[in-house]
Amino acid sequence: MRRSLAPGKPHHAQWLVTRKCNYRCAGCNVWKEQDDRELATDEIKKGLDILKNLGIVELVISGGDPLLRDDIGEIIDYASKLFVTTVCDNGSMAVKKIDVLRNVDFVAISIDSLDEAKNDEIKNVPGAWKRAMESVEKLHNKGINVSVTPTISQKNLYEIIDITNYFTKKGIPVWYCLYAYDAPADENQLFRIGQENNEFMIEDKQAMVKLCNSLIEMKKKNKKILMTNKLLNALRSFYEEDKRTWKCQALRNFIVVDHLGRVAGCHSHNFAGSLFDLPKMWKSQEFNELREAYNECTKCNYLCYIFYSLQGSPSGYLSLAIDQWKNAGLVFRKIEN
């Protein structure tokens, strides 16, 4: 338990290893702002070693679509030995790269609707739904831990329960994203991953409150819903009372790394330095001041940041990890390494 229970260290990192993407999702800007520059394989391995030594237990590998990297198999193989590892895919690449996904702890496939035409409209790519559904089915049948990650928005708010029931009844876990976008920022912002789209902005707040209540109730019997009650209660308060019951724990509980190895507590703020300088910067006055700024920030509602902010203590993170994967052995094994 050394890594997870050590105080003053982060537990979660999200590394966007590429800015390349082959989709054109309506609520996203990544495909408009692609960048061919990337760290080399050996540089990423060096960075993964740094993250492990810093105390990271859980790693999410995303992008863009990380499976577009030619060396992603080598990266995943190395990362999966060090962390509880999740790899994100828009559903287009998982079947092609199925062999390199066998060692990860989770593959997260993005599906936003059970309606084929509607999903393809959101992804802005014909055939996206069929490819994603095929990916989920094939990975699940091969024994790979695949989950479905719909992004909750006004566009699909009324079908989230149906999506949840459809997949969880097949034994496939569901984890959710929440539509959000970045306000215009200066050129030093780490990166942007959303664009304003009125079709996606959640206007029916009561429906969102009802959804949170329904998921809390469903979780009593459905162990495939990968959301904690604490998170669902926070979301409910946010939409019902316009109240934020959390303080951002960026650069405390979690960090974000971009495709060039730049680091920030969250992507919405300016990058704070290089991953390769992180060990000497972690306890610096500069980082302490940034932590205070993050703690007071209220400009985003990205679900992943809320999620890890709510798990404020090391023991709380461990309880979350055990609950999330329902596999204490996996968590303890990765922590002890």
- At 88 the pLDDT is 96
- What is this structure's pTM? 0.90
Alpha-carbon distance of 178 to 10, in angstroms, equals 23
Instruction: Give the per-residue pLDDT at 184.
Output: 56
| d(C-alpha 112, C-alpha 110), whole Å | 7
More confident residue, 270 or 67: 67
pLDDT in tens, 279-337: 999 999 999 999 999 999 888 888 888 988 886 555 555 555 555 555 434 444 454 55
- The pair phi, psi for residue 152, each rounded to 5°, is -70, 125
Which pLDDT belongs to residue 11?
Answer: 87
Residue 269 has a pLDDT of 77
279 closest CA partner among 59, 15, 55? 55
Three-class SS of residue 103? coil
Handedness of CA 247, 253, 258, 262 (dihedral sign): positive
User: What's the rounded Cα separation, in Å, for the pair 69 and 33?
Assistant: 17
pLDDT reading at 235 higher than 80:
yes
- Please state the rounded mean pLDDT for residues 220-226: 93
Q: What tens digit of pLDDT does each residue of 93-124 get?
A: 999 999 999 989 999 999 999 999 999 999 99
User: What percentage of residues in the chain have a pLDDT greater than 70?
Assistant: 85
Q: Give the pLDDT of residue 30.
A: 79
- CATH number for the region 9-336 comes to 3.20.20.70
**In terms of pLDDT, which residue wins out, 270 or 81?**
81
The predicted-structure confidence for 246-292, as pLDDT tens digits, reads as follows 999 999 999 999 999 999 888 777 888 999 999 999 999 999 999 99
